[in-house]
Structure 1
Amino acid sequence: MKKSLPLITFALLCIIESFSQSVGDYRSNADGNWTTLATWQRWNGSAWVAATDYPGQNSGTGNVLIQNGHDITLNVSPANAIGSLTMAPTATGGDDASLNFGTGANYSLTVTGNVSIGDGDVTITPDGTTSRLHSLIIGGGLAITDNNTFDLNNGDDDCNVTFNGTSFTISNTGTLNLNSVTFSNNGTVTISGDINDVAGTMTVNSNCIINPAASITINNGGGTITGSGTLNVTRVGAGDDFINQYDFGTTSLGNMTVNYSGTGAQDISSAVDPYGALETAGSGIKTNSADIVVNGSVTIGTGTTLACAGPGSDDITFGGSWTNNGTFTSSDDLVTFNGTSAQTVGGSSATTFNNFTMNGAGGLTLNNDVNINGVMTFTSGIVTTSSSNILTFNNDATTTGASNSSFVNGPVRKIGNDAFTFPTGKTIGGYHAIGISAPATVTSQFTAEYFQNDPITLGPISGSSSISTLSTCDYWSLSRDVGTSNVNVTLFWNYSVSTQSCAYNPTGSLVCNLNGSTEWDNVTTSSVAGGSTTSSGSVTRNAVATYNFFTIGNGTGDASLPVKFGDIRGYVKGNGVQLDWSVHTEENVTHYEVERSADGRTFTVAGQVAAQKRPGTIDYSFFDAGAAPGNNFYRIKNVDLDGRYSYSVIIRVTVGKSSGIFTVYPNPVSGNHISLQAPELDKGAYMIRIFNNSGQQVYQRSFSHNGGAVNQTIPLPHHMQKGIYSLQLLNGETKLIRNFVLQ
């Protein structure tokens, strides 16, 4: 007997070391029901004593230990959570411990800490007559060792498991069978062993990341994965790595993120349809070999490559943002942006797409460079670029479909020796293209942008030119960045689909540009094509040698006909909007139409005013009782006896906003004008001042206001450099300040 004493002592030490006690801890004392007090002992701080309540009956329960050889049946849903649950390992020998979810009712047990299955089983006892659905809520991790069993799916009786803690680990060297499991924690769940079977649905809620090292089987390969969290795919070289790691039947991942995060090459699964968001991490090439749809964003992680394999179906359609911090390679694939809200392209790496479709009504903003090798199709939505985040069409790349509802707002670059029409426009103003003929070399590079401003602000008409008048509303910039080719330049207008704020007389139209003296000049090699009316057409200047700014002029009369507008002013008055404007040199005008728009591009007629038909400057007014709350854009259309027409500039009046608010737009500004707009401004004398980043005043202007809304167009001085400026609106002791960026 004495020979066995060291072994017994060692076993006791193991138990003490593996399960140190605290006040409020329980351990099993015998087989029995959870509610039977004789089943339990409780630690009182110095010794194990008979329990006076069962675990969870009252608050303060700590760890619950079910000792080897004890079979405990959960026959109640304890009112309070327990701290942790341990099926304790003990000395070698004896029977395993067990916890059964019993018959008679649906039971629920909440564990705020860890569940450890060291030498025992957690199972369900079938009711035999009634299907039961129990619940186990775990706030910590789950550890199953020594080939033990955690089986919560038994015939018609099941137990749903919810993990709701922060980051934790599920480790398993035994059998782990679940019914439905929900991960609702905010953090990372690391799964180091197999989940042998989830009989129902695996739900991963928002802000939870599942990071498995092994596989998860959902209902023998026929179950469902759903939720709004993140699934990491860590397996590599297993064919369809997602399916190899998550063995399922159907997915509902339209709100979930799937992150291919293995350290090596992985295949992007087309079985997930659609992805909520798609990410790559770890290392290696992540290959997409089939068409996939992503409801949200695509993120390419540092050190990884997202490759569209091709040839064949390897297209990507997505509705969120594109972030490239690694590498994207494409073959004959098509990438489609189709978001209903604003999308972006960004990241630390520029992206080259093969074929690209813009079909997102929310628009797209480039926060890094984008290159096109194939065809870019414009269907819906405006692409906004800047001088530092530019859209470039490489040699042989083309565009199609650009229109008033889809174009590029900002600079566009073309490289190569093919003719090209730049899909340029402005957000308020619409689509207005500029084209070039084919340069001589494949390395030639041109950059174009459209501006809706009066070109006379850039310089006067040269006295030696044959220009009679210039357009009063718009111009283009076109630079020859690389090469020496003197290409033909074509300027387009089309008023059946666009909203450009002037119209052109095709007879005698000229392509004009600034000469070396910053004066508008022209040459005689201009031709007009595409129409005999002011509604549509083009004008071309051949073999252009000087590249800067271009606009349409006229050698026989006004380029913009049939009237020259003066100021146009709009402000809130009562329950509507009051519009006042003046005109100069009114000739043969029959009437004026006031047009209103909610977006600055699609206009409808709000009313009509008859022409006064007299010489000199004439003032007109119109009250719009149909203005809607929010932004209302207005322009005035004049129509002459021959049916010709032209437009004023577009102004914006905001209805229903608070007093004391004013905005400057566009911001950033890349042209020569900026507008100040306030929905409600008190009557009085005002001064506008602009200061540069060094505090130096670069502009000053005064104006009087009769009260209500105001919209002031401010011509920016030519000497202003790119940078941050402060615009001040002053009235007596009142000073309002808004900053803007000049690009």
Structure 2
Amino acid sequence: MKTRGKTLAWSTLFNCRIYFIFSAVTFHCLYLNASLCQEIGAYRTVASGNFGNLAIWEVYNGSVWAPASVKPTLINDIYIDQTHKVTLTANEEAKSLFINAETGAGEKLNLSGRNINLYGSLQAFSGAAPGIPSGTWNSQNWIGNSTASTITFKGNSRIIIPKNAWSGFTIQSRYTVIFDPGAGNTLTIEEPFKAVKFILRSGILLQKLDISVVPNFCASISFNTETSFYPSGPFGDFIIESGGIFISECSDNIIARSISGSVSANLFEIQSGGELILEGTSPKIEAATFLLNGKVTFRKNSGTQNFLSKSYASSAVPLTFHDLEIQGTQNITLPTTLSLNGNISQVGIGVFNLTNTTLNLTGATDQHIIGFAMNVNNLTLNKPAGTAFFEQNLMIRNNLKMDAGGINLQGNNLILNTLGSGGLEYNAGHWSNLGQFTYQTTPTSMTSVNATFPFYDQYQGGIRKVQMLGTSAGGNLNIQFTEYKGADFNPSFNDLDGTPILYRLFSYFNFSGLNTSSNPLELRISAEKLIVDEPEDLRLVCTGYAAPGNHIEGTDEINLWAIRSLTFDDLPGKNFTVGSFRTLSILPVTWLSISAHLKDNLKQITWSVAEENDNEKFEIYSSNNPLKDWIKIGEVLSQGDSDSPTLYSFTDENIRKNSSTYYLIRLINFSGQEFWSKVVRLENDLTVSNDQISISPNPHSSGKISVTLPDSFNLENSQISIYTTQGLLISDFRYNEILLSEKLEILTPGIYLIKFSNPENTIQSKWIKH
């Protein structure tokens, strides 16, 4: 590759910037004293040979060049003169490396698969050493001889490729360059640089733009262009490793295989922890493949700045990024399609413009949208794991497609379809911590695809999918999910058909904004992560009162819908939630089982969980009244992280005869989160049977009540106990058939547990009062 200015006629050359430094150096070195142009302790070659061969070196002592007594080290500059070749037989070090670069100089440095560390600069010169700084005019393999041959820049911040002392003219340099100065140090290149591979291992690499000439001149990074030794087409890798930061001031010619031939590099890679900072107006990286697993930052504080792009036919357009950041004052318009698997953040006053962008949030880790309210044309969420966290409101001009993963609004709002021409496509995933959801220009035909709204229940766990099926009159639908921990186990109201409601979540949904319509609506709310005996147990209710419309019995054992048939006009002003005519348990984690039984006259509680991750301990609680008086009776430490089911047990040595004992377990993880199991009951040492008693009529509406007990059951000294399904004891008395009938007749409608017990046995039955 020939650099701009160095491929022009010599008359043109002397009108450019290089002329002035040539003049100064020529006057100082040629007319005054050539010996003044090198440092004391500098080495120069007097012959070809191995680096460690002292016979090939002379050392400048401040007055004259004298034979070397030791080989060069990291404190010494070295000059390789015309016709000489130095070969490495081991890894070596030097301060600055000066190489004669005249045409016909031949191979100058054979790295031979080894490495030389440089703590100064790399420069070219013409004439006898120390010579005059010049561009690299040699077109042979003057540094080599393989990708495994490396020059590594170490040390403190400095210019490593000075202006007018190097170029990318050489087409056959067979070596790899490594930038490794350590964190916080900056290496600056002021002239084009060519090799077969570049690795930024640590610190900062600054690529300068020379604005003193017109057009401005970039210190390009390019790659070997010989096609007899390397493949034709895209070639050469530029890799930014973790801890490396590449800052480019350029627009065109940042990286390519051949700048003059318009051939792209093979690979541009930012590894996790690496960063590219772009300061040019229209930055272009010419590479066939991009692997952007680090951060790309836009930083320009004047004029305008465009998104990263390409010009060459063989180059790819980078459209998949990990982290994106804007630090400058200039706005950046993102491309029409963009995939992001990391964070996007605004640090400066410049903003990312996504109003024409379809943004795909992907990847299996958490993502953060920081410093701005996102206003995007279309958004697709397709995350097999992890959550996208939005620091401010999320506005979607057209379509939101939910394929997998979570969106956490952190209390902010989600506004969909602000242009009125898009909508929701729901397949999977959820929203959490959402202030309010607004669906502008709601579709008139509401289906399970465009009208399923997946709110994650942060207290109970699970997704409360709200589904609206029907033909609306349009409008802007607002849904607000108000969350509270726990549930009401004694709502004290009946459904409109007279069915007593024995359970309802405290959390609830409000709907508003739709146009007035008496059209029928099927409203559904799912009960995921709640213990449900049967889908038909569920009811869609309001907070403390029956929901309008008619109950529809659910049959879906996967989604567990509470379903209601009503009209769109029934929605405003109501608090809708999940209820049941049975008692449910809230289950925010996957407990496989929990049970209590007697073993050797001791109460033993056993439980198992599907998997464990970061769990600290299980606390065991006991009570004789499950609605109050829970007492911690012990704890069991977690067995550690596991992908397979884990079994635990605990023994309660406190025995009380003739009474039920209730247990539940609290799991606590190392983050301080807590998850409760369902409640289980143990009937101590009494034998319990559910199929040997008959109470009639059952269900009961009116009239006397009779009881049939098995002949083997001894009624003498028998005790009768009446419980609610929550375990609350309502009445307890010595058996009397007339008294039993009277007690049951005065009960309010509901479901009850009637228990007959004597010293030998206990039998019980469920009884319903209408």
* TM-score strictly above 0.5: yes
Q: 2:162 — aligned with what?
A: 171
> Structure 2: how far apart are the matches of 1:451 and 1:633?
31
Q: CA RMSD in A?
A: 5.7
Q: 2:698 — aligned with what?
A: none
Q: 2:748 — aligned with what?
A: none
> Structure 2: how far apart are the matches of 1:570 and 1:107?
57
Residue 116 of structure 1 is aligned with which of 111, 123, 148? 123
> Which letter maps to 1:26?
A
Q: 2:76 — aligned with what?
A: 62
Q: Is the 8 A contact 1:570 1:579 kept in 2?
A: no
Aligned length: 555
> Structure 1: how far apart are the matches of 2:586 and 2:44?
93
> Which letter maps to 1:471?
Y
Q: 1:74 — aligned with what?
A: 86
> In 2 relative to 1, CA 597–332 (structure 1 residues): closer, same or farther, beyond 3 Å?
farther
Q: 1:426 — aligned with what?
A: 457
* Shift, 1:387, TM fit: 1.0
> Which letter maps to 1:653?
L
1:407-556 alignment runs, 5 A limit: 407-411=430-434, 412-418=436-442, 420-426=451-457, 429-435=461-467, 444=476, 446-449=478-481, 451=483, 453-456=485-488, 468-469=500-501, 471-473=503-505, 475-478=507-510, 480=512, 491-494=523-526, 498-502=528-532, 509-513=539-543, 520-522=544-546, 524-526=548-550, 528=552, 531=555, 535-540=560-565, 542=567, 543-544=569-570, 547=573, 549-553=575-579
Q: 2:264 — aligned with what?
A: 248
Q: Is the 8 A contact 1:183 1:205 kept in 2?
A: yes
* Shift, 1:16, TM fit: 6.2
1:498-647 alignment runs, 5 A limit: 498-502=528-532, 509-513=539-543, 520-522=544-546, 524-526=548-550, 528=552, 531=555, 535-540=560-565, 542=567, 543-544=569-570, 547=573, 549-553=575-579, 559-561=580-582, 563=583, 596-598=609-611, 629=641
> In 2 relative to 1, CA 399–192 (structure 1 residues): closer, same or farther, beyond 3 Å?
same
> Which letter maps to 1:294?
T
> Which letter maps to 1:381?
G
> Which letter maps to 2:198?
M
Q: 1:670 — aligned with what?
A: none
Q: 1:695 — aligned with what?
A: none
Tell me, yes or no, if structure 1 residue 653 matches structure 2 residue 683. Answer: no
Q: Is the 8 A contact 1:408 1:426 kept in 2?
A: no
> Which letter maps to 1:550?
F
> Structure 2: how far apart are the matches of 1:97 and 1:28?
19
1:17-96 alignment runs, 5 A limit: 18-21=37-40, 25-28=41-44, 30=46, 33=49, 35-37=53-55, 39-43=57-61, 47-48=63-64, 50-56=66-72, 61-64=75-78, 72-75=84-87, 77=89, 81-86=93-98
Q: 1:294 — aligned with what?
A: 320
* Shift, 1:448, TM fit: 2.7
> In 2 relative to 1, CA 101–77 (structure 1 residues): closer, same or farther, beyond 3 Å?
farther
1:172-187 alignment runs, 5 A limit: 173=164, 174-176=166-168, 177=170, 178-185=173-180, 186=182, 187=185
Q: Is the 8 A contact 1:87 1:117 kept in 2?
A: yes
* Shift, 1:39, TM fit: 4.5
Residue 222 of structure 1 is aligned with which of 234, 238, 241? 234
* Shift, 1:423, TM fit: 1.6
Task: Give per-residue Cα distances to partners, 1:449-471, cap 9 Å, x unaligned.
Answer: 374743439x9657999883253
> In 2 relative to 1, CA 106–473 (structure 1 residues): closer, same or farther, beyond 3 Å?
closer
Q: Is the 8 A contact 1:415 1:445 kept in 2?
A: yes
Residue 376 of structure 1 is aligned with which of 400, 421, 424? 400
Task: Give per-residue Cα distances to partners, 1:709-729, cap 9 Å, x unaligned.
Answer: xxxxxxxxxxxxxxxxxxxxx
> In 2 relative to 1, CA 630–474 (structure 1 residues): closer, same or farther, beyond 3 Å?
farther
1:310-459 alignment runs, 5 A limit: 310=336, 315-325=337-347, 326-330=350-354, 333-388=357-412, 394=418, 395=420, 397-403=422-428, 406-411=429-434, 412-418=436-442, 420-426=451-457, 429-435=461-467, 444=476, 446-449=478-481, 451=483, 453-456=485-488
Larger CA Rg, structure 1 vs 2:
2
Indicate the SS of the match to 2:281. Answer: coil
Q: Is the 8 A contact 1:217 1:247 kept in 2?
A: no
> Structure 1: how far apart are the matches of 2:551 and 2:666?
36
* Shift, 1:565, TM fit: 5.9
Residue 146 of structure 1 is aligned with which of 113, 134, 138? 134
Q: 1:281 — aligned with what?
A: 299
* Shift, 1:408, TM fit: 1.4
Greater share of residues in strand: 1
Q: Is the 8 A contact 1:343 1:365 kept in 2?
A: yes
> Which letter maps to 1:62?
N
Indicate the SS of the match to 2:306. Answer: strand
Task: Give per-residue Cα distances to partners, 1:613-635, cap 9 Å, x unaligned.
Answer: xxxx999x9x9999874699999
Q: Bigger shift: 410-419 or 224-233?
A: 224-233
Q: Is the 8 A contact 2:525 2:540 kept in 1?
A: no
> In 2 relative to 1, CA 166–446 (structure 1 residues): closer, same or farther, beyond 3 Å?
farther
Q: Is the 8 A contact 2:320 2:338 kept in 1?
A: yes
Q: 1:665 — aligned with what?
A: 673
> Which letter maps to 1:286?
F
Q: Is the 8 A contact 1:64 1:82 kept in 2?
A: yes
> Which letter maps to 2:409?
T
Q: 1:681 — aligned with what?
A: none
Q: 1:603 — aligned with what?
A: none
Task: Give per-residue Cα distances to partners, 1:153-177, cap 9 Å, x unaligned.
Answer: 2598455433234544323545443
* Shift, 1:253, TM fit: 2.1
Task: Give per-residue Cα distances to partners, 1:377-431, cap 9 Å, x unaligned.
Answer: 333322222214757564454333344xx21122151142315432212366322
Indicate the SS of the match to 1:285. Answer: coil
> Structure 2: how far apart are the matches of 1:379 and 1:597?
25
Indicate the SS of the match to 1:284. Answer: coil
> Structure 2: how far apart are the matches of 1:240 and 1:531?
61
> Structure 1: how far apart are the matches of 2:82 and 2:440?
81
> Which letter maps to 1:597?
A
> Structure 2: how far apart are the matches of 1:633 and 1:157?
58
* Shift, 1:512, TM fit: 0.8
> In 2 relative to 1, CA 632–227 (structure 1 residues): closer, same or farther, beyond 3 Å?
same
> Which letter maps to 1:276?
N
Residue 272 of structure 1 is aligned with which of 282, 286, 289? 289
Q: Is the 8 A contact 1:337 1:360 kept in 2?
A: no
> Structure 1: how far apart are the matches of 2:338 and 2:239?
22
Q: Is the 8 A contact 1:324 1:351 kept in 2?
A: no
Task: Give per-residue Cα distances to partners, 1:543-586, cap 9 Å, x unaligned.
Answer: 25765743244xxxxx242x466999999xxxx997559xxxxx
Gaps (5+ residues) in structure 1?
1-6, 90-94, 123-142, 514-519, 554-558, 582-591, 601-616, 636-647, 655-660, 667-673, 677-743
Q: Bigger shift: 217-226 or 103-112?
A: 103-112
Q: Is the 8 A contact 2:466 2:526 kept in 1?
A: no
> Structure 2: how far apart are the matches of 1:236 and 1:8?
36
> Structure 2: how far apart are the matches of 1:155 and 1:37?
21
Tell me, yes or no, if structure 1 residue 194 matches structure 2 residue 192. Answer: yes
Q: 1:740 — aligned with what?
A: none
Q: Is the 8 A contact 1:260 1:279 kept in 2?
A: yes
> Structure 1: how far apart are the matches of 2:201 and 2:94?
24
Q: Calculate the TM-score normalised by the size of structure 1.
A: 0.59
Indicate the SS of the match to 2:385. Answer: coil
> Which letter maps to 1:664?
G
Indicate the SS of the match to 1:382. Answer: strand
> Structure 1: how far apart are the matches of 2:502 and 2:477?
28
Indicate the SS of the match to 1:299. Answer: strand
Q: Is the 8 A contact 1:472 1:502 kept in 2?
A: no
